[in-house]
């Protein structure tokens, strides 16, 4: 017997979707710029000048028909499989098989045995069945289903929202699709609504599902560990499943919530590639599967391992937003698309990120007003624009066993508080920054003494500490409100220009003392959503505040944190050569302005490697530069090199922070040698930066093709030779010979004429920039 409709009001999103402006299934064709609907074929075509994504309703099921270069029209010449297979569940519908259709959003045990995108149990504890098409609407802009989740800015785009119901009208699911401006980028997001009178339990909630009728792809992933982030792995899809996931509470250095499917021949310069990135900073997973028929599927979203959600009658649940990017022009072009997407549509509005001196490697926890003041004039003389006091500034913090949670200046180290330091810096035209680890608490803090129930915990179990600390339960709104007040007062009282937002341990015992037993699986999702609320409130309150993202380095570098932060401490590993490899991996998805790279000591404090002064100076220029070692302890040669590099950085900040980045080596991205081309938007200025490993006993010239310069103009190289962009692109340029192990070189190129000309030096030497 069909279940009667509940008497409670329909949820907000469903009311929105049934507004009079809804495009109807009957009537004429709806064409709203970049979203078209053909009612005869029940076909949706989302497109711009570069990209098309096509969905069709077939027997009520939502099927992906096409994802690729822009099409003017779609006739369906690539036929879907229309025959049954052995053990087909839906024999009454033959020839028809859900297990081979390229579906948009699938569940468990409904005839499709591949990795599910969703799983929801009803009041009987049984899985809700397949969803079928119910309605759709086309809206202006990108409609955010949840105001506390990160979302891409697309003011000039349009959004397609397709509503699906199960056969009992117990569950409604809204699938959101938005193409981002002129980019070949599609946003996906999902909202669940409980239409019944019972509580439903969500156990799987993916943000995207992509099905393909073959598996001729390589899966490219970023994995790693603390001090070794963003290691690139490339492997072909084979029958079975390959998964990357985090249950650490944050995205984690162990895996980045972004991946690429690339044709086997695709390299940096040519070939088809499809990239997916999640705008999320908590537990996640993505799975690439090749099924028994050779079809492939990729599902990305919340990690179901520790997740469940009690969906109350009339309430919504919203997944994180996901971005899908497409190219036929190789991995560099895919990266360029993602860089534009994150920089222009996700990250805070552009600003000048500052050259920083951070006290950590100078003093560790033993920081004080006197020590900071002693470094100010020396740092200023080098060209520093921002001085940041790192860990150790607050009371009872002599080491990492000290207090966390009481954000009050230490009365011994800073007897007059922080304001005198801020005032002294501002009088010199310098900015003032401060380190915080706001999400943490220690049991010896006053905050814990007052509110032990604010710590994440399992009731009745002994706390599991890491780095001597526990995690604040940001799933509680009262804890979020406390952090908002404390941080707002801290920034406002001390005239703080910059916060370094750190996060130095993973989840354990992810329980909340205020949630009932059946909602403990919601803690991770609620925590991350609470973190976003705190960060968004700070951004809204202090729009000029710079925020640096850090999680023991790049352990939470993801699309979610990029929505609220201006830059990221890419790794705690400050060895310049290895750090370039880390940034090379992250560059698959994230733009230059994301990366923070500082001049540091030699021998390096982490691996004791000795690197040349030139290498340390050059490789610190990438992204947002600065210095970690105390300016007062630099040798004359080091001080001169740092001062020269900072001056060069200021003259080329546009390119080094916001330029277009291209990887010039087509081979494996984890190799010791890294070679980058960085250009401005007009391609009138360019930099070629190389980082080498151990020198070969047999010297030989290395040549790289620059590929991306303007072929119709001439460039002057290091103020010496000139050559046409065409020659540099297609014949290449010779890199300077390495002068010992771990060398680095930098070449500058500037347009000098719009007429082809070449004035190479007699010996062919083009020189290199040295500090």
For residue 55, list its beta bridge partners: 44, 64
pLDDT, residue 769, reads 72
Decide if 344 is catalytic: no
| Mean pLDDT for all residues in the chain | 92
Q: Enumerate the CATH 3.20.20.70 domain ranges in the chain, comma separated.
A: 356-659
Tell me the pLDDT tens digit for each residue of 505-549: 999 999 999 999 999 999 999 999 999 999 999 999 999 999 999
Q: What is the pLDDT, as a whole number, of residue 327? A: 99
Measured from the Cβ of residue 667, the count of other Cβ atoms closer than 10 Å reads 10
Q: What is the DSSP string of 330-345?
A: HHHHHHHHHHHHIIII
Residues 276, 210 contacting (CB under 8 angstroms): yes
DSSP 529: H
pLDDT in tens, 454-510: 999 999 999 999 999 999 999 999 999 999 999 999 999 999 999 999 999 999 999
Lowest-confidence region among 71-75, 80-84, 350-354, 577-581: 80-84
* For residue 112, pLDDT beyond 50: yes
Neighbours of 126 (CB within 10 A): 9
Alpha carbon separation from 611 to 267, 282, 450 (Å, rounded)? 31, 36, 49
Give residue-wise pLDDT tens across range 292-338.
999 999 999 999 999 999 999 999 999 999 999 999 999 999 999 99
Alpha helices per DSSP H over 495-601: 523-541, 559-562, 576-586
pLDDT at 441: 98
| pLDDT for 350 | 85
CATH 2.60.40.1180 in the chain, residue ranges:
663-753
Q: Using pLDDT thresholds of 50, 70 and 90, give the confidence band for residue 141.
A: confident
Tell me the HSE value of 742 on the side-chain side, using a 13 A CA sphere.
Answer: 20
* 3-state SS assignment for residue 644: helix
Mean pLDDT value of segment 242-257: 97
Per the CB < 8 A criterion, the answer to whether 70 and 63 are in contact is no
Burial 482-505 (b: 16+ CB within 10 A, else e): bbbebbeebbeebebbbbbbbbbb
- Active site annotation includes 366: no
From the list 502, 558, 566, 575, the catalytic residue is: 502
pLDDT band for 714, please (50, 70, 90 cuts).
Answer: very high
Residue 94 has pLDDT above 70, yes or no: no
pLDDT in tens, 386-425: 999 999 999 999 999 999 999 999 999 999 999 999 999 9
**Cα–Cα distances in angstroms (integers) from residue 326 to residues 43, 57, 746, in the given order:** 21, 23, 31
- Residues 149 and 145: their CA atoms lie apart, in Å, by 8
pLDDT of residue 25: 31
Handedness of CA 308, 312, 313, 319 (dihedral sign): negative
Residue 665: per-residue pLDDT: 87
pLDDT at 9: 36
Q: Exactly one of 135, 473, 558, 572 is catalytic; which is it?
A: 572
* Number of alpha helices (DSSP H) and beta strands (DSSP E) in the chain: 14, 39
Question: Is this model's pTM higher than 0.85 or not?
Answer: yes
CATH 1.10.150.120 fits 663-753, yes or no: no
The domain 12-346 having CATH identifier 2.70.98.60: the answer here is yes
pLDDT at position 503: 98
Strands (DSSP E) contained in 708-761 are: 714-717, 722-724, 733-735, 744-753
Among 769, 756, 698, 702, which residue's Cα sits nearest to residue 733?
A: 702
Residue 93's pLDDT band (cuts 50, 70, 90): low
The residue-averaged pLDDT of 554-579 equals 98
Decide if pLDDT at 115 tops 70: yes
In terms of Cα–Cα distance, which of 422, 181, 220, 524 is closest to 323? 181
Per-residue pLDDT band for 761 (boundaries 50, 70, 90) equals: very low
Quick check: 17 pLDDT over 70?
no
678 near 659, Cβ under 8 Å? yes
d(CA 629, CA 599): 7
Convert the pLDDT of each residue in 43-62 to its tens digit: 999 999 999 999 999 999 99
Domain with CATH 2.70.98.60 in the chain: 12-346
The pLDDT value given to residue 700: 83
Least confident of 430-444, 676-690, 744-758: 744-758
Domain spanning 356-659, CATH class: alpha beta
Q: Of all residues in the chain, what percent carry a pLDDT higher than 70?
A: 91
Range in 446-460, 615-629, 658-672, 674-688 with the lowest mean pLDDT: 658-672
Among the residue ranges 107-116, 181-190, 408-417, 693-702, the one predicted with the least confidence is 693-702
Give the pLDDT band of residue 727 (cuts 50, 70, 90). Answer: very high
C-alpha span between 380 and 421 (Å, rounded): 14
d(CA 432, CA 423): 9
């Amino acid at each position: 017997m069909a279940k009667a409709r509940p008497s409670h009001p329909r949820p907000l999103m469903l009311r929105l979707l049934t507004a009079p402006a809804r495009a109807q299934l009957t009537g004429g064709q709806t064409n709203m710029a970049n979203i078209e609907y053909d009612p005869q074929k029940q076909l949706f075509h989302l497109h711009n000048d570069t990209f098309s994504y096509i969905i069709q309703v077939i027997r009520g099921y939502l099927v992906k028909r096409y994802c690729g270069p822009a099409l003017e029209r779609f006739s369906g010449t690539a036929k879907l499989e229309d025959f049954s297979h052995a053990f087909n569940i839906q024999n009454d519908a033959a020839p028809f098989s859900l297990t081979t259709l390229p579906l948009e959003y699938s569940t468990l045990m409904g005839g499709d045995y591949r990795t599910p995108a969703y799983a929801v149990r009803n009041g009987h504890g049984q899985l809700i069945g397949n969803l079928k098409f119910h309605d759709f609407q086309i809206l202006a802009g990108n409609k955010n289903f949840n105001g506390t989740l990160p979302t891409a800015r697309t003011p000039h785009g349009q959004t397609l929202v397709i509503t699906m119901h199960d056969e009992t009208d117990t569950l409604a699911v809204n699938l959101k699709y938005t193409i981002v401006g002129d980019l070949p980028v599609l946003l996906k997001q999902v909202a669940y609504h409980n239409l019944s009178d019972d509580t439903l339990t969500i156990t799987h909630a993916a943000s995207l599902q992509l099905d393909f009728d073959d598996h001729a792809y390589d899966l490219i992933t970023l994995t790693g560990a603390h001090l070794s982030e963003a290691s690139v792995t490339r492997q072909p899809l084979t029958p079975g499943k390959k998964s990357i996931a985090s249950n650490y509470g944050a995205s984690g250095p162990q895996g980045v919530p972004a991946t690429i499917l690339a044709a086997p021949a695709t390299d940096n310069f040519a070939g088809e590639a499809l990239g997916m990135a999640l705008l999320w900073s908590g537990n996640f997973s993505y799975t690439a599967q090749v099924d028994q028929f050779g079809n492939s599927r990729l599902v990305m979203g919340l990690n179901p391992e520790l997740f469940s959600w009690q969906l109350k009658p009339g309430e919504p649940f919203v997944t994180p937003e996901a971005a899908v990017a497409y190219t036929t022009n190789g991995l560099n072009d895919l990266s360029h698309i993602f860089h534009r997407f994150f920089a222009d549509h996700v990250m805070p509005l552009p600003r000048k990120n500052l050259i920083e001196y951070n006290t950590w490697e100078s003093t560790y926890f033993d920081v004080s007003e006197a020590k900071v003041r002693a470094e100010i004039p020396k740092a200023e003389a080098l060209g520093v624009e921002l001085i940041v006091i790192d860990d150790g500034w607050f009371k009872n913090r002599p080491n990492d066993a000290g207090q966390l949670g009481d954000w009050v200046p230490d009365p011994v180290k800073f007897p007059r508080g922080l304001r005198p330091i801020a005032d002294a810096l501002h009088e010199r035209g310098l900015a003032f920054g401060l380190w915080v680890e706001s999400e943490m608490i220690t049991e010896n803090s006053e905050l814990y003494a007052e509110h032990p129930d604010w710590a994440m915990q399992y009731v009745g179990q002994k706390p599991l500490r890491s780095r001597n600390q526990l995690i604040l339960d940001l799933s509680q709104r009262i804890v979020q409100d406390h952090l908002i007040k404390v941080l707002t007062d801290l920034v406002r009282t001390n005239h703080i220009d910059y916060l370094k937002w750190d996060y130095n341990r993973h989840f354990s015992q992810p329980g909340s003392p205020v949630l009932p037993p059946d909602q403990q699986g919601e803690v991770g999702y609620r925590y991350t959503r609470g973190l976003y609320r705190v960060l968004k409130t700070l951004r809204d309150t202090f729009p000029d505040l710079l925020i640096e993202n850090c999680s023991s380095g790049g352990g939470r570098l993801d699309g979610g944190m990029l929505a609220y932060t201006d830059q990221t401490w890419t790794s705690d590993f400050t060895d310049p050569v290895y750090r370039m490899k880390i940034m090379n991996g992250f560059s698959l998805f994230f733009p230059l302005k994301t990366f923070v790279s500082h001049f540091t000591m030699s021998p390096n404090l982490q691996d004791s490697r000795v690197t040349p002064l030139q290498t340390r100076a050059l490789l610190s220029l990438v992204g947002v530069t600065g210095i970690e070692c105390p300016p007062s302890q630099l040798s004359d040669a080091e001080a001169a090199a740092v001062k020269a590099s900072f001056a060069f950085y200021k003259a080329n900040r546009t390119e080094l922070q916001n330029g277009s980045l291209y990887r010039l080596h087509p081979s494996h991205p984890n190799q010791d040698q890294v070679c980058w081309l960085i250009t401005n938007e007009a391609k009138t200025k360019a930099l070629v930066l190389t980082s080498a490993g151990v020198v070969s006993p047999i010297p030989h010239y290395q040549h790289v093709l620059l590929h991306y310069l303007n072929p119709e103009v001439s460039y002057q190289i290091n103020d010496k030779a000139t050559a046409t962009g065409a020659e540099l692109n297609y014949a290449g340029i010779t890199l300077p010979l390495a002068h010992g192990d771990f060398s680095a070189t930098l070449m500058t190129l500037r347009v000098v004429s719009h007429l082809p000309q070449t004035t190479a030096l007699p010996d062919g030497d083009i020189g290199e920039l040295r500090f």
